[in-house]
Amino acid sequence: MSGFWGKRKREQEALAAQDADLARRAEQALVAADERIRTTGDELAFAQAELGDALTADLKAALDAVKTHMREAFQLHQLNHDEIPDTPEELRTRNARIAQLCEWAEDLLDEKTSALSDAVSLVRRSPEIIAQVRRDAESLTARLPQARDTVARLALRYSDEAMRRIASSANEAEQLLTFATHGADVSERRRAAKQNEEANLALETATEAVRRATAVIDAVEDFEIQALRAESTLANVADDSRGDLITARSAPQTPQVQAASTALNAALNALAPSGARNDPFTELSELRAANTALDEAVAAARYRAEHPLPSVEQVQHSLDDADRQLAVAQGLISGHRGWIGADARTRLAEAERLRVDVPGMLPAEETREKALASARRVAQLAAEALHLAQRDIDQSRPRDDDDWGGWGGGQGRGRRGGTGGDIVTGVLGGLVIGSILDGIFD
């Protein structure tokens, strides 16, 4: 008995220690949340002065919501220290609620202040960013003459269709740089007029304009490298295509192979002659597509040569054989419904379902192989259904070997129920006896 009371005392002491720790953490969280509200209010005031009310509206709304809900936490804390005694359960519930409210307040303020920190950083670094925008615009402007020379030089080598992607790149980059410089000036003026929201917007657009101008000018230089690589690849693909045309002559000359060979030959003849302005990108795409089509046609023709398409008569013969086996299985299973298990009936149902789809696949050459495979599958399923049905019948038939024996036993079982085994045996026995009689009379 003393052990029971000792264990209960230890449990009570542990629970009291947990309650004390929870109360201490609730008080610490309340103090930290109160300090965080104060510091966030100071940050909001500075942010409003730098960014304006529009960009700081979310943080202000979050701070107001935190102040509203933290009133509950302070009221609960006050109830814990009033003159009215409280039960341990009441204290535990209040402290848990205080800790929950303080944690929510901290998380919400962290989220909103971190989202605003990027905008504040942009405002504080705006003079540095504006100076960088102007330096970048100046350096990019110095690259414009070289970009124009590159475009003019490439226009002598490549067609207008190929040059369309970079023909106006220099002019476009010049417009973007002018817009970036103007945006930097607007940002400075708006900042001086304490219109921080408009100043930030102008600065962001100026920065984006510089980035786009850089990409446009770099694209002019990249185009020359890409065009040279495309020309080199085009020459290799052309040589490979000529070899494929020679190889295709030894392949079975199906209509698909002949059409693909004609298309590839036309694509080769359409290539611009040496020294003429061309579009290597378009020519490479068209030649690759024609080359791939010929490879696929030759592969299909060779496969068909190695695996001849079955004739309609061959498929029909397999289908007739499947029908015969299906009829035997249907007759046996329908004559012994109470004796047949689920496996045999499932095989038969699958064979019947598959048999319905075969005639629709027979006329078209594309599905004739599938029709042959389906017919063979029907025969296989019917044979499996017949085997499983025979097994079920053998296991279900009544056995009395003492009353019937030998040939007579077989006849007796046939008279008792006419099992599927006796049906199959009778059919096979009739065929054998017929063959013997034919031999005797011959």
- What is the pLDDT at residue 332? 87
Residue 278 phi/psi, 5° resolution? -140, 175
Q: Which of 128, 109, 119, 107 is nearest to 48 (CA)?
A: 119
**Tokens standing for 167?**
């023909």
Q: How far apart, in Å, are the Cα atoms of 73 and each of 80, 95, 198, 374? A: 11, 9, 40, 75
Q: In this predicted structure, what is the pLDDT of residue 425? A: 40
pLDDT at 131: 92
The tens digit of pLDDT for each residue in 189-227 reads 988 887 777 888 898 899 999 999 999 999 998 998 999
Asked which of 314-323, 336-345, 409-418 is least confident by mean pLDDT, the reply is: 409-418
Question: What is the DSSP-derived secondary structure letter of residue 278?
Answer: B
77-112 pLDDT per residue, tens: 888 777 777 787 888 888 888 888 898 998 888 888
DSSP state of 417: T
Instruction: State how far the Cα of 29 lies from the Cα of 42, in Å rounded to an integer.
Output: 20
Residue 159 zone, left/alpha/beta (φ > 0; ψ -120 to 50; rest): beta
CA 130, CA 190: separation in Å to the nearest integer? 13
Question: Do 422 and 366 meet the contact criterion of CB atoms below 8 Å apart?
Answer: no
Phi-psi region of 311 (alpha: psi -120 to 50; beta: other; left: phi over 0): beta
Between the alpha carbon of residue 139 and those of residues 30, 153, 179, 205, 210, the distances in Å are 55, 22, 15, 19, 11
Distance from C-alpha of 410 to C-alpha of 341, rounded to nearest angstrom: 23
Tokens of 239: 């040589």
The lowest-confidence range among 131-135, 355-359, 388-392, 397-401 is 397-401
Note the Cα 166 to chain centre separation in Å.
Answer: 35
Min mean pLDDT across 8-12, 19-23, 312-316, 409-413 is at 409-413
| 31-45, 135-149, 419-433, range with greatest mean pLDDT | 135-149
C-alpha 416: how far from chain center: 63
Query: What is the reported pTM?
Result: 0.53
CA atoms of 212 and 174, how far apart (whole Å)? 11
Cα(423)–Cα(312) distance, rounded to whole angstroms? 34
C-beta separation of 294 from 248 below 8 A: yes
SS3 273: coil
Phi, psi (deg, nearest 5) at residue 194: 65, 20
Calculate the alpha carbon distances from 31 to 35, 100, 416 in Å.
6, 14, 96
- What tens digit of pLDDT does each residue of 276-291 get? 888 999 999 999 999 9
pLDDT of residue 414: 39
